[in-house]
């Protein structure tokens, strides 16, 4: 039945804009193929991703690939034209580069990486469809003063600000330096992807200009985070350069600041299902720029 024009379409993931703050069960599957679909992940890995919302891989790419990507990272960070580009996000106090977005469109090495079957294969398998790149970025988190990412679900932001309809997206974070338990590595609440946590506040205009430096809107309240952490615990994801974690778009995650001398740099690629392409934002007046949320939906 087609809804009539007067019938409001229900948003199953309401957030911001004064909605009642709450924690609701997720409405959609996590793994969209049950038979494995000929993908690279074995049944135990798929099961683990379904249960925990993430899957760590000790060595996703080889040392020579890591070396090439590290060199590329240094080249990007030293490029003055790129530093002046809106794709570069700098830390508020130190001015150091925090993130560079859309690296798969500005660098051949990262363009090749998003097509690498070791990255895109599991994403296709888990999402049960072709995928396109919703977002790519490198995060630097330099030694001594690399700053944190507060607790959030990426899907909450992508739904509210980018118009992503459902959490049918998978991210892969590939470590380009060693991720220690001390240098600001990723923390995930295993199983938190099964809940949708609405967030207080409304999205201000051009929110991305501040949120990518330090996010305040789109972060859950303390009571919600306490409940989730009590239910699910917190797991720290560590591993050598070349290790990776695939994680569901709705995992509750964050990372602490880095005051060690050891940089924690990673590349982060978001694959979205071609059956889940963006519409109008659900919780913001205007969509974010396409360097943060692509509106070209061509399959990888
Ligand atoms: O705003 C975003 O789209 C993103 N922000 C964070 C903190 N994590 C994922 C994503 O890159
Ligand atoms: Fe995130």
Distance 2 CA to ligand 2 centre (A): 35
Task: Look at residue 157 in the predicted model and tell me its pLDDT.
Answer: 97
Residue 3 has pLDDT above 60, yes or no: no
E strand map for the chain: 23-25, 54-57, 88-90, 97-101, 131-139, 149-153, 169-175, 186-188, 195-197, 235-236, 244-248, 252-255, 266-273
Q: Whose CA is nearest to atom 10 of ligand 1?
A: 154
Average pLDDT (90-100) is 84
Q: What protein residues have CB closer than 5 angstroms to ion ligand 2?
A: 154
Task: Look at residue 93 in the predicted model and tell me its pLDDT.
Answer: 79
Ligand closest to CA 252: 2
Task: Look at residue 2 in the predicted model and tell me its pLDDT.
Answer: 52
pLDDT band at 94 (very low <50, low <70, confident <90, very high): confident
Ligand 1 contacts (CB < 6 A) are 135, 137, 149, 152, 154, 157, 215, 292
pLDDT band at 295 (very low <50, low <70, confident <90, very high): very high
257-294 residue pLDDT tens:
999 999 999 999 999 999 999 999 999 999 999 999 99
199-255 residue pLDDT tens:
999 999 988 888 878 888 889 999 999 999 999 999 999 999 999 999 999 999 999
Task: Look at residue 21 in the predicted model and tell me its pLDDT.
Answer: 79
* Residue from 249, 281, 273, 272 nearest 152 by CA: 249
Cα–Cα distance between 286 and 205 in angstroms, integer? 8
pLDDT band at 7 (very low <50, low <70, confident <90, very high): low
């Amino acid at each position: 039945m087609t809804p009539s024009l007067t019938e409001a379409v229900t948003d199953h993931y309401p957030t911001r804009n004064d909605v009642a703050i709450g924690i609701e069960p997720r409405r959609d599957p996590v793994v969209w193929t049950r038979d494995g679909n000929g993908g690279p992940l074995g049944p135990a890995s798929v099961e683990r991703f379904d249960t925990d919302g993430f899957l760590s891989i000790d060595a996703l790419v080889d040392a020579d690939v890591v070396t090439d990507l590290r060199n590329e990272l240094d080249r990007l960070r030293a490029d003055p034209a790129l530093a002046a580009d809106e794709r570069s996000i700098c830390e508020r106090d130190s001015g150091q580069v925090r993130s560079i977005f859309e690296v798969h469109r500005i660098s051949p090495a990262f363009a090749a990486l998003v097509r690498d079957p070791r990255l895109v294969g599991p994403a296709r398998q888990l999402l049960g469809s072709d995928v396109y790149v919703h977002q790519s970025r490198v995060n630097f988190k330099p030694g001594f003063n690399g700053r944190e990412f507060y607790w959030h679900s990426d899907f909450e932001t992508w739904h509210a600000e980018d118009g992503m309809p459902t959490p049918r997206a998978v991210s892969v974070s590939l470590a380009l330096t060693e991720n220690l338990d001390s240098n600001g590595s990723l923390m995930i609440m295993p199983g938190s992807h099964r809940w949708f946590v609405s967030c207080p506040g409304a999205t201000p205009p051009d929110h991305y200009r501040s949120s990518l430096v330090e996010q305040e809107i789109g972060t859950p309240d303390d009571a919600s985070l306490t409940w989730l952490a009590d239910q699910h615990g917190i797991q720290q994801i560590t591993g050598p350069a070349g290790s990776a974690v695939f994680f569901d778009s709705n995992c509750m995650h964050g990372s602490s600041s880095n005051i060690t001398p050891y940089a924690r740099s990673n590349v982060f690629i978001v694959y979205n299902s071609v059956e889940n392409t963006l519409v109008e934002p659900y919780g913001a007046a205007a969509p974010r720029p396409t360097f943060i949320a692509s509106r070209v939906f061509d399959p990888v």
